[in-house]
Amino acid sequence: MTLVNGHPAESVDALDRGLAYGDGVFRTLRTEAGQPLWWGDHYAKLAADCAALNLACPDEAPLRAEVCRVAEAGEGVAKIVITRGAGARGYAPPHHPDCTRIVLSAPLPAHAGPDAPDDVTARWCALRLARQPRLAGIKHLNRLENVLARAEWDDPAIFEGLLCDDSGAVIGGVMSNLLIAKAGELFTPDLSQCGVAGVARTRLLRALERHGIPHHIGRLLPDAILAADEVMLCNSVIGVRRVGRLDDVTWTPAGWTTTLNDALYEDVD
């Protein structure tokens, strides 16, 4: 089911700036029994991303109600898209934009279901992410880099591609954030220049703080990934997933993925 500005609809205005320029933001979240998971974090991130692009964020309660309304029975995925709405041709944002709000649901993908394997296979992508601090971290609708990176492979055995920026720093996966464990400490890439700072990553960083587990946000080079004790991917749909293979390199479990998954789902907020 899809709601456009609160009404069941299949389509949006052909002049919408989300289509014309990718002028908007989005969220992908998990739903269980008709309720959004980690709603507070998702709404906070949506509000922050809207603010970063000077978009009006919808009010929280009615938006949550729309997510519940579209949610699949059982487990599923919901997506929220906020755009700057339809406008006249030209890049100049309207002074009083009438934002478009799209809320839709989809079945839980197989790779996120209960039968998904504990560990996944990843590869290095050839595409290098451009560094744009003005857009870094935001889950905006300008995602051609992700599309091109994802188009680099077609093998269904490969779950995710890892991306570096044009300085050679590892940023994360095409659709996930990256964490590594080394000698009892956790590391995740700095996302101040590019990448998306996802809600699962934010929740994990908070949990690490809460549990007193040493952790660092910084510049990570590919060698650091290869030398890690455990390499993990996370997002709001898959939770934390261990990388068992990265091209020709393999890892056996070091125990971190279970620890972090438990921490990720703690409901302490």
Pair type for strands 230-235 and 239-246: antiparallel
Nearer to a copy of itself, 26 or 251 (CB): 26
Nearer to a copy of itself, 152 or 229 (CB): 152
How far is it, in rounded angstroms, from Cα 58 to Cα 249?
45
Binding site for a copy of itself (CB under 8 A): 2, 4, 9-23, 26, 28, 53-54, 77, 79, 81, 83-84, 88-93, 102, 104, 106, 109, 127-132, 134-135, 140-151, 166, 174-175, 194
Nearer to a copy of itself, 114 or 133 (CB): 133
Whole-number minimum distance, CB 102 to a copy of itself, in Å?
6
Whole-number minimum distance, CB 47 to a copy of itself, in Å?
18
Three-class SS state of 241: strand
How far is it, in rounded angstroms, from Cα 150 to Cα 210?
34
Whole-number minimum distance, CB 50 to a copy of itself, in Å?
13
Helix axes 39-52 and 199-211, enclosed angle (nearest 10):
120
Nearer to a copy of itself, 196 or 232 (CB): 196
Q: How far is CA 131 from CA 128, 150, 173, in A?
A: 9, 19, 16
Contact of 33 with 76, CB cutoff 8 Å? no
Whole-number minimum distance, CB 231 to a copy of itself, in Å?
21
